[in-house]
Amino acid sequence: MNWIGTAIGAFVGLIVTRSFLGMCLGALFGRAVEAMLIGTRPVRRAPNFLDPLFGLIGAMAKADGRVSDEEIAATERLMQRMCLEPAQRREAIARFNAGKTPGFALNAAIADLRAWCDGRRDHAYILIDVLLDVVYAGDNADARLAVLRKLTLNLGIDDRELAALAAMRGEAWHGRAWHGANPGRHAPPPPPGNAGPDPYTVLGVAPNADERTVKHAYRKLMSEHHPDKLGDVPEVLRRRAEERAREINAAYERIKSARKFK
């Protein structure tokens, strides 16, 4: 509840009249003025998720100076998975094209996506996961990654978490370069088991992390990626969260089995 106007009004009323009645009248006047001012402020409505999303995708695709066929194909696949209606598809294409223009308001799109996430890390994770489809589309991934990192910075997602999301897709990220499913000599070797992403990177822990650290990371990630906690989100994002939850669980099971955790 707002009370600053009420308090100021009461204080002024007390100083001017030096009476309890004057203080009460001042409080009422201050409250009325504050209510009037609040009523005149523009209300920021919840952002349309699709508009800033496809605008940002357009900016990512154009980040290296040209839009490739692979980037267009990745965007088309995303539209298909989202089952966009004809009007939504036309608007998504328009936003994608707007994102490619030099004057595109990238910061505004990022602000809208941040507002859509509303501080929820589970929403931020699935949003980033969807955008990684475009990051991996074709060559020159660094330019697209630079745009994505502007978003992750605003969402409070660090590079370790970004690397974990990449690992779930069979990708690894060292510094500013993206590499394929084989992470190379710089990454810790995964424990024996079925082929798949490096489980330590998926959980965001060092390969020599103790049992307590591994279990804490696993429980934290499962809580953040659990699809049942997402609320009202597009179905494609819910499915991606389910995939991520399975990857996290599989990574933990591989480490647990290799190191004989209870």
pLDDT of residue 206: 84
Q: With contact defined as beta carbons under 8 Å apart, do 226 and 241 qualify?
A: yes
Domains 44-157 and 184-262 share a fold: no
How many angstroms separate the most distant Cα atoms in the chain? 81
Residues contacting 258, CB < 8 A, separation 6+: 191, 192, 193
Please state which of the four CATH numbers 1.10.287.110, 1.10.3720.10, 3.40.1440.10, 1.10.274.30 is assigned to the domain occupying 184-262.
1.10.287.110
Query: Among candidates 50, 109, 35, which has minimal Cα distance to 83?
Result: 50
- Spatial distance between the Cα atoms of 50 and 94, rounded to a whole number of angstroms: 11
Residue 173 β-bridge partners: 178
Task: Report the mean per-residue pLDDT for the chain.
Answer: 76
Specify the DSSP class assigned to residue 178: E
Q: Where are the beta strands (DSSP E) in the chain?
A: 172-174, 177-179
Q: Which residues pair with 178 in a beta bridge?
A: 173
9-43 confidence digits (pLDDT tens): 566 656 767 666 666 666 666 666 656 654 544 43
Domain limits, the chain: 4-40, 44-157, 184-262
Of the candidates 196, 193, 142, 189, the one whose C-alpha atom is nearest the C-alpha of residue 170 is 196
Please give the residue that has the higher pLDDT: either 201 or 170.
201
The CATH architecture of the domain made up of 44-157 is: Orthogonal Bundle (1.10)
Residue 53 has pLDDT above 90, yes or no: yes
- The one-character DSSP state at 227 is G
Residue 215's contacts (CB-CB under 8 Å, 6 or more residues apart) are 261
Q: What's phi and psi for 45, nearest 5 deg?
A: -80, 160
Specify which residues 177 forms β-bridges with: 174
Listed in sequence order, the residues at least 6 apart from 155 whose beta carbon sits closer than 8 Å to its beta carbon are 113, 114, 117, 121, 124, 127, 128
Over residues 136-173, the pLDDT tens digits come to: 887 778 899 899 999 999 999 888 888 877 777 666 55
Nearest to 187 by CA among 199, 249, 152: 199
Amino acid 108: pLDDT: 93
- Burial track 176-207 (b if 16+ CB lie within 10 A, e otherwise): eebeeeebeeebeebbeeeebbbbbbbbbbee
Q: What number of other Cβ atoms are within 10 A of residue 34's Cβ?
A: 18
Strand partners, 179: 172
Contact yes or no for 50/127 (Cβ under 8 A)? no
pTM equals: 0.60
Say if residues 56 and 109 touch (Cβ distance below 8 Å): yes
Q: Report helix, strand or coil for 217.
A: helix
pLDDT classification of 186: cutoffs 50, 70, 90: very low
Instruction: Answer for the pair 149, 135: CB distance below 8 angstroms, yes or no.
Output: no
